[in-house]
Every structure is written in C-alpha cells, then in structure tokens.
Amino acid sequence: MNRKILAQVPLFKDLPEHELDHLASMLRVRELPPDTLLFSEGDVGDRFYTVIYGEVEVIKALGTEEEWVLGLRGPGDFIGELSLLNRNGLRTASVRSVGEAAMWEMTLAEFDELLYRNPLMAFEVVRVLSKRLIEGENATILDLREKNRQLAQAYLELKLAQVQIIEKEKLEHELKLAYRIQMSILPQELPRLPCFDFGARVVPARAVGGDFFGVIPLAGDKVAIFVGDVSDKGVPSAIFMARTHALLSAEAHRRATPSQVLKRVNRLLAEIGSAPLFVTVLYGLLDCRNGQFSYARAGHELPLIADAKGGVSMVSWAEGQLLGVMDDPQIDEEQIAIPSGGTLLLYTDGILDGRNPQGEPFGVKRLAAQLAKLQGSQAQAICDQLLQDLLAFQAGSPQDDDITLLAICAQA
C-alpha cells in the first residue's frame, strides 16, 4: 500500500513517514459489494475503518419504522470509532455500503497503539467527532422542526376535519328533519270511500325531493287529486314542491275547474318569486258518484287507465305546458271514466326513467304491462308492487330521479 495514499487521509496526514510506512504494511483492505452491511447497531465492535473509495451510510434503528440515515461517509472518512471509545464497545449505529466500497480495517489494539505513539492524532479524531456531533444536532433540530411543522399541519387538518364532520352531521340532521317535514306535507292517510280505493308511494332520489301528490275530499262527493314533479332535485326542489303543494291544496277548495286551478297556481308562483325552477302537474276532480275524472295537465306524464280484465291504455291528450315558466301556459283538459274494477294510475317520470345496468329505461310500455298483471289488487298493493318491479329491473343501478305513484281503484 502506497504511503502517499495514506498521507491524503485527514486522520493520517500529520503522521511521520515511518508511521505511514508502518500503517501501509499493517492495514487490511475490506471490500464491500453494494448494499452490504458492514456491522449492525448493538454489535460489539473491535474494528476501526477508514473509507478508501465508495460510500457507506450510517443508519439508526435499521429495519424499523423509526429508521433514520444519519449521514454518508466517503473516501477519507473513518467509521466505527465510537465503539472503540465506549466502555461497553457496542456499535451505536449500523453501517451499510451504498455501492461498491472498500476500506482499511484496524483492530482496537492497533488503534490504541497508534494513538499511544501519536497522541496528537487524537485531536483530529475529536475534531471530526465534534463536527459530526454538531451536524447531528443540527440535523436533529431540523428534523424536530419538520416534525413539529407536520404535527401542526396535522392538527390543523384534524380541526378542519372535525369542523367538516360537525357540519356534515348538522346537515344530515337538517336533511332528515327536512325529509320528515316534507313527508308530513303529503297525505298521511288516504281517504277511504265506499266505491274507490287509493294507494300511493313517494321515493325521493336524495334526502328530499320535488315530487308530490294530494288526495283531498271535497263537498258533493268529489275528490281533488293531483300529482306533481318539480324540476331538479334536493333542497331547492323540495322548497318549491312545498310551495306548489300548499297552493294546490288551497285552490282545491275554491270550487274552480281543474284548468282554472292550474292557471291560478301558475300566477301565484310568479307573484311569490321567480325561482329558476318549474313544475309539471296533473290536477283533477273525481266524481265518486259516476267515476268521472275531469283533469287538467300542465306538462305532466299521461295517466294510465286499466279495466277489470287487465287491458291498459294511455288516455287521449293535447299539448300541456309547464307551470312556473310562462305567464299563461297552455293546459291540456281531459275527462275519463274509471271503469268498474279498473285502475287509474298517476305517476312521475322517475319510474319511467329508472334504468337497468345496461342503461335501458323502465319505460311506459313496461309500466303498463306490469300494471295489467296487478288488476284486482288493492291500490296500495299495486303501488308497492310496481316499485318492487322497478327495483328488480334496476338490479342495483342508482336511482336518478324522484318516484311517485298514485293508484285509484274503482270497486267492482
């Protein structure tokens, strides 16, 4: 080993030439393949090393979640000295090669003899150790600052998450309350008449929705019946729904024709405020004496009429325009008779637009076919079964729109 190479190592540079010659003949070379462990933290150390070429990393808590690389040591750096200075001789960290590396190896006895012969070399060891200590303290301070910053950030995020959770819980509570209020607006019990049986189902797509219906007994053996569907979904739609339902319920007692009721509701909606929403409505009067149903339709879905034998047809119709859009909408006015043992089905487009996993809509033809199979059933059973038919058709596909069904069955 050339003593000129040893003379370039900071630890040995001040040694006399004869000492360098002695080291050159004494030191052994230890070669390490890449990613090779030289020694582990906690090992008993009796060797001191000086890096010739390559790099090694000094690691605390190797293989644990707290693993931390203290630093890299390159050519000229020495490692393993602390175990020689500690009384118990234990390694204070692990050392692993980064790439290929080589180093000179010296035993504890050889190191002690070298220090004995050259005591000034101890100053170089202390200088390097002091430098490493300062670097280690600075790294620790920086690491603590970073961890404090991360903890502060995590605490802030936790506070924000807590606020969001509280707000979400408040919103969910308010939506549940809104749902109960909305459902309380709708009829809690349907009229029980000698000649007619009523059934209904309402299923919002969200916590609250825009569908509604009403069945209001009037004087003279008549019943006001209506079904509506507000555009959009959610809270704004629910508020507009409650407003429209209240107006229709109030107008039902004014002894006006169905067309007059819808036109007046449209005017009142405009006077109350210009919300960016509209509503489709079918409003009619059922004469319980003869089964005649006179109704007006403002852009709503056409009713289905089924006879006692299961024949289902869609009623005749004319153009009908939405409420809440134009000052004087065109209203479709019709009159039909519910046959003995037959059923009149009113509904919103949510049941028609329900889709299966392939994207196919339930549609009016399928609704009519299912209704035909249910003739002879009670009105509520018809609504419940039609909803089950839709759910089976959807096969787990999400509900995109509110669903309302209202069945009126004439007793045979």
Do 115 and 198 sit in the same domain of this protein?
no
DSSP conformation letters of 217-242 = EETTTEEEEEEEEESS-SHHHHHHHH
Do 190 and 114 sit in the same domain of this protein?
no
CA nearest to 372, candidates 289, 294, 309: 309
Residue 328 maps to a domain: yes
Q: What is the per-residue pLDDT for 113?
A: 85
Q: How many residues are recorded in the chain?
A: 412
Do 232 and 350 sit in the same domain of this protein?
yes
Do 205 and 339 sit in the same domain of this protein?
yes
Q: What is the per-residue pLDDT for 36?
A: 94
Q: Is the pTM of this model over 0.75?
A: no
The answer on pLDDT for 71 being more than 90 is no
Residue 292 maps to a domain: yes
Residue 374 maps to a domain: yes
C-alpha span between 58 and 41 (Å, rounded)? 10
Q: What is the per-residue pLDDT for 106?
A: 85
384: domain CATH number?
3.60.40.10
DSSP conformation letters of 70-119 = EEEE-TT-EE-HHHHHSSS-B-SSEEEESSSEEEEEEEHHHHHHHHHH-T
61: domain CATH number?
2.60.120.10
Q: What is the mean pLDDT of residues 199-220?
A: 90
Average the pLDDT over each of 73-87, 257-271, 289-303 and give the range with the smallest value.
73-87
Band of pLDDT at residue 16, cut at 50, 70 and 90: confident
Percentage of residues of the chain with pLDDT beyond 70: 96
Do 115 and 247 sit in the same domain of this protein?
no
Residue 160 maps to a domain: no
Q: What is the per-residue pLDDT for 87?
A: 60
Gyration radius of the chain's alpha carbons: 44
Q: Of 119, 144, 176, which residue constitutes the final position of a domain?
A: 119
Residue with tokens 């059973």, as numbered in its chain:
381
φ and ψ of 60, to 5 deg: -100, 145
pLDDT, one tens digit per residue, over 85-95 is 666 678 888 99
Do 191 and 110 sit in the same domain of this protein?
no
Do 84 and 199 sit in the same domain of this protein?
no
Q: What angle do CA 179, 192, 259 make, to 5 degrees?
A: 70
Q: Which amino acid is at 348?
A: T
Q: What is the mean pLDDT of residues 48-55?
A: 89
Do 379 and 282 sit in the same domain of this protein?
yes
Q: What is the per-residue pLDDT for 341?
A: 93
> How many other C-beta atoms can be found within 10 angstroms of the C-beta atom of residue 385?
16
| 132 or 343, which is more confident | 343
Helix 121-185 and helix 235-251, axial crossing angle in degrees, nearest 10: 10
pLDDT, one tens digit per residue, over 277-331 is 899 999 999 999 999 999 999 999 999 999 999 899 988 888 889 998 888 999 9
Do 318 and 203 sit in the same domain of this protein?
yes
pLDDT, one tens digit per residue, over 121-167 is 777 777 777 777 777 677 778 878 888 888 889 888 888 888 888 88
Do 59 and 200 sit in the same domain of this protein?
no
Q: What is the per-residue pLDDT for 85?
A: 65
Q: What is the per-residue pLDDT for 47?
A: 85
Give the structural domain span for 391.
Answer: 186-410
Residue 158 maps to a domain: no
| 233 or 17, which is more confident | 17
Q: What is the per-residue pLDDT for 1?
A: 52
The answer on pLDDT for 37 being more than 70 is yes
Do 102 and 198 sit in the same domain of this protein?
no
Q: What is the per-residue pLDDT for 5?
A: 75
83, with CB counted inside 10 A (0-12, 13-18, 19+), is buried
Do 366 and 260 sit in the same domain of this protein?
yes
Percentage of residues of the chain with pLDDT beyond 90: 45
Q: What is the mean pLDDT of residues 392-408?
A: 93
Residue 125 maps to a domain: no
pLDDT, one tens digit per residue, over 358-379 is 999 999 999 999 999 999 899 9
Band of pLDDT at residue 116, cut at 50, 70 and 90: confident
Residue 173 maps to a domain: no
Residue 153 maps to a domain: no
Q: Of 93, 119, 145, which residue constitutes the final position of a domain?
A: 119
> How many structural domains are present in the chain?
2
Q: What is the per-residue pLDDT for 170?
A: 78
